[in-house]
Each structure stands twice: as C-alpha cells, then as structure tokens.
Chains A and B, each alone.
Chain A
Amino acid sequence: MIIHHPILGPRDAQEFVYLGDESLIDRPDGMSAGIEEFHDYAYNRTNPAGEHRELWYHEQGDRSWLVVTRNTVTHEITKVELARDVARAKGRTK
C-alpha cells in the first residue's frame, strides 16, 4: 500500500505506524467533560465498511502524523492530510 505523503510524495506503508480513528484528535477537556464523554472517547469507535478517516504516523520518515481517508473495503486512499493542519482547522492551537 502506498500513502501519498503531503510533503514527501508516495511512500510505502511499511514506513508508517497505524494508530486508529481520527476522532482521537478530539480529546475532551479532562477538567470539564463527564465520565460518559471520556468513556466514549477512550473506547467507542464506529467500524465502517467504507470510508474511514484514520491516523498514521510516519515513523521511518519525517515523524509527521497524518490523517488518511481510506476505504476499508477496497483500501483505496482518497485523501492524505497533515494531522497538524486538521487539528488547527478544528480550532486547536498546536
């Protein structure tokens, strides 16, 4: 599988480490969120047969976190973004 890195171009998936669902970016505020919200964040995932947004880490490369939009049925990758840009677009500061 080839992941088209936004900075470095096509790279073999062997260079990456898979973390999981992109929703991990949206960690609730530990001081104000309730236990139910944190439980959902920690344990509950949808398991779609189809398009899935997921986090990949370019460990044997430039150490960037990526948000990869991948079809879990066909393994087709339709979009690759820097997780930093995705988080900032959601209003995060870093």
Chain B
Amino acid sequence: MANLHALTALGAREAAVITVGPLTITERFDVALASVAARRGRMADLAKAAKAAGLPLPDPARWQGGTPYSAFWTVPEMWLVEAPFASHELIEGMLKAALDDAASVTEQTDAWVALDLAAPDLAPLLERLCNVDFRAVADGYATRTMIEHLGCYLIKHGAGAVRLYGPRSSAKSLVHAIELAAHSAW
C-alpha cells in the first residue's frame, strides 16, 4: 500500500504558523470534530448520555472545555464537539457508541480549518473582520459569524486568544483576510 501522508487545510505537510506584527495565526491540525444533534424529543436522553460520557453540552452561544471532549453550541439542541485528534481520530464512532440513538452524530474533522489567533489584544483585528462585539462578550463565548463572506465559528478563550473554524476549502482565503486585517489593525 502507498505510504500516504495527510496534508493540512493550508496544503502543507506541517501545520502553518504565521506571524503578522503582534498577531500569531496557528493552524491546528490536531483537533477532531463532530457535530451532535439531539433527535426530536430526545433531549433529556441525550443530556443523560452526554453526562455519563463526559461530554459538555453548554448553553446557547457558549463553549465549555473538558477532557477529552470540549463542545460549543451551534444550533438549538446541536453542538460541535472538539477532541484531540491523536486519541479521537474516530470521534464519530466514539460519540455514537456513547450517545446511541438519542443523537445524530456527524464527523466534521475535515470540513473545517482550525486557526488559533493570539495577540495581546485581538479586538482591533476582529472588529475589522466580523460583527462580533468582541470586547463586550465574555470568555467562553462561541458564535457563528461571517468573515470575508465565509461562515465561520469564533470561540473567545480570552482577550488575546481566539479559536476560529472556517470552511476548509476556503482556508487560504480566510488566512489571507486575517493577514490583511492584521496589517490594517497594527
């Protein structure tokens, strides 16, 4: 069998680290993703199974961390779940086994590019990129928003720490938009 090597969303063998002034963009290639949606009328069953499996199901517009599963709210009764890729490459099957038929689980790992943004203060950058009121929202805020016409998820981990999930097929366009805004902000 051929010796295959997966490429990152930005098309390289190793995850990219890009620096623009005080901003560091780190491509994350070590995150497994799956969406979990309660089946109709089964929210109570899902909450019970999720608790037993150590899967957080945070309130609307919130992210909640955990080991191994972290999750953020996306849609009423639906969450996107993050886990370490090394241990949870088969995240869809693992969640399905834990949640049984209370939820529909969909593998999402290769649908998204994950970018960590780090700077002393990300507000000047994000106010140029999207209409999230970044200064006002609390840590742990998670939302879908538009960046350069791309539907992205933004999770605020701190004033200087943000995780972005953007459409993987537009990864380079998203990074380009962030770089341009960074040149403008700083």
- Which residues on A are within 8 Å of B, measured CB to CB? 7-8, 12, 14-15, 59-64, 94
User: Binary interface profile of B, 65-85, with partner A (CB < 8 Å = 1, else 0)?
Assistant: 000000000111000000000
Number of A-B contacts (CB under 8 A): 29
Contact of B75 among A12, A14, A63, A94 (CB under 8 A): A63
Main secondary structure of the interface of B (DSSP, over half): strand
Q: Which size bracket describes the interface of B in this complex?
A: 10 to 19
Q: How distant is B174 from chain A, measured CB to nearest CB, in Å?
A: 14
- Complex Cα distance, B149 from A14, in Å, reads 11
Contact of A8 among B40, B61, B146, B151 (CB under 8 A): B61
Which residue on chain A has the smallest CB distance to residue B59? A7
- Complex Cα distance, B154 from A5, in Å, reads 18
Q: Is B144 part of the binding interface, using a Cβ–Cβ cutoff of 8 Å?
A: yes
User: Binary interface profile of B, 130-164, with partner A (CB < 8 Å = 1, else 0)?
Assistant: 01000000000001111000010000000000000
